[in-house]
Structure 1
Amino acid sequence: MTLQWVAVASFLYAEIGFVLFLCLPFISPRRWLKVFNFRLWEKIASYWNRAFLTIIIVLVVLFFDAIREVRKYSMSQVIGKNEKMLPNMYDHLNMKLFRAQRNLYISGFSLFLWLFLSKNQQMKNSY
């Protein structure tokens, strides 16, 4: 994986870990309230909107890039069936298609979880 996809995958794993951490049943709601009412969060809140938009833009661009890659290698596979291709070329195209699909899933799930976490944060602020 290239550096950008390693970063997106790491971001996805961190999001999954954070969501699972928030779902732990043995931490009481009163304790969560104390954690979320730290003064540190008030200082970070001024930068939160800018950081959120930046991360959304980066994830959307990577998501559309992954869609483009999947379409590119899917089309070459259709064209490749009509032509005589060496087995190595066919395997290479399938490998690139697999990587493009993997990147699409990683960026899609990461974007979905980021939107979910931000919506969750907005709901918390409304209480």
Structure 2
Amino acid sequence: MSLQWTLIATFLYAEIAVVLLLVLPVASPQRWQKFFKSRFLQSLGQQASMYFLVLLAILVLFLMDAIREMRKYSSIEVSDHGHAHLDAEMQGNMRLFRAQRNFYISGFALFLSLVIRRLVILISAQATLIAQSQASMKQAQSATSAARNLLQKSGESAQNDSNEVHDKAIKELKIQLKELQSKNLELENELTKEKKDKAAIKSQADSLVKEYDRLNEEHSKLQAAGGDKKSD
């Protein structure tokens, strides 16, 4: 494997590790949010979009090169299959297999780059929603305690004017409570949706890992078959 494809494969392994870290319950969304907002990442945040686009462009170029190599060696294999020497045929098959391997490596690396970006966005959104939900719950609890205090004061007060004022305040607090409850329900629904999206991304990542393992097994089988043919 050449140097550039070794780097791409290493980058793919690193992406798989990052996806597993983000998907598995290693840390809570709040901790990931703190990590994403660290000083080091904030210093890179202004140029992160540019780096991401450059990375995607490089991976697309490698993917197109792998596709070109696949088409090149596939056409040679089809046209010269009956006339090529055994060694030349094996060399062509080996180059075709390498092109296919490079295609899968660059394709998976490109796909996992998009997956990681989406996971970071979803985790940040989930942490924000959890913080908003906790703040809403605190507001609802404070409003409930204030309403209870007002109810106690209204029971102790005997003046009609003060009773009317307290009743009006209680009605306003009840309206605020209803609004906070509805907002809390919306936040819970959004959290449920984010969890479902996260589970779907986890299943996609697992399927990618299984497919990559299967390709490695096929690669090993093809290398073993190639070694047997050379020995013959």
Task: Give the AA of the match of 1:61.
Answer: L
Deviation, structure 1 residue 71: 0.5
Deviation of 1:50 (Å):
1.3
Taking the aligned partners of 1:37 and 1:29, their CA distance within structure 2 comes to 12
Residue 106 (structure 2) pairs with residue 103 (structure 1): no
In structure 2, C-alpha distance between the alignment counterparts of 1:28 and 1:124, rounded to whole Å = 9
Task: Write the distance in 2 (CA, Å) between the matches of 1:124 and 1:47.
Answer: 21
Cα distance between partner residues in 2 of 1:80 and 1:104: 23
Task: Say if 2:24 is the partner of 1:24.
Answer: yes
Within 1, Cα distance between the matches of 2:18 and 2:70?
29
Deviation at residue 57 of structure 1 after TM alignment: 0.6
Shift, 1:125, TM fit? 5.5
Query: RCO (CA 8 Å, sep 6+): is it higher in 1 or 2?
Result: 1
Aligned length: 126
Residue 56 of structure 2 corresponds to residue 56 of structure 1: yes
**TM-aligned CA deviation for residue 77 of structure 1:** 0.6
Equivalent residue, structure 2, for 1:13: 13
How far does the alpha carbon of each residue in 1:79-114 deviate from its partner, in whole angstroms, 9 at most, with x for none? 012x42211111011000000000000000000001
Separation in 1, partners of 2:88, 2:79: 12
Aligned to 1:69: 69
Q: Distance in 2 between matches of 1:12 and 1:75?
A: 29
Percent identity, please.
44
For normalisation by structure 2, the TM-score amounts to 0.51
1:3 corresponds in structure 2 to 3
Residue ranges of structure 1 left out of the alignment (5+ in a row): none
Is the CA contact 2:33–2:123 (under 8 Å) kept in the aligned structure 1? no
Compare CA radii of gyration and give the structure with the larger one.
2
Structure 1 position 94 matched with structure 2 position 93? yes
Report the CA distance between 1:26 and its aligned residue.
4.1
Deviations 1:16-61 (A, max 9, x none): 1111111232423332233223233221101201111111110000
Say which SS state the counterpart of residue 12 (structure 2) adopts.
helix
TM-score by length of structure 1 reads 0.89
C-alpha displacement of 1:120: 2.8
Distance in 2, matches of 1:118 and 1:29, equals 15
Secondary structure of the 1:30 match is helix
Please give the root-mean-square deviation of Cα atoms over the aligned residues, in Å.
1.7
Identify the residue that residue 116 of structure 2 maps to in structure 1: 117
In structure 2, the CA distance between the partners of 1:119 and 1:24, relative to structure 1 (3 Å rule), is closer
Shift of the alpha carbon at 1:124? 4.8
Instruction: Specify whether residues 54 and 26 from structure 1 end up closer, same or farther in structure 2 by C-alpha distance, changes over 3 A only.
Output: closer
Residues 1:79 and 2:79 are matched in the alignment: yes
Aligned partner letter, 1:44: L
Q: Which whole-Å CA distance do the structure 1 matches of 2:70 and 2:7 have between them?
A: 20
CA distance in 1, matches of 2:110, 2:63: 8
CA gap 1:26/1:109 in 2 versus in 1, 3 angstroms: closer
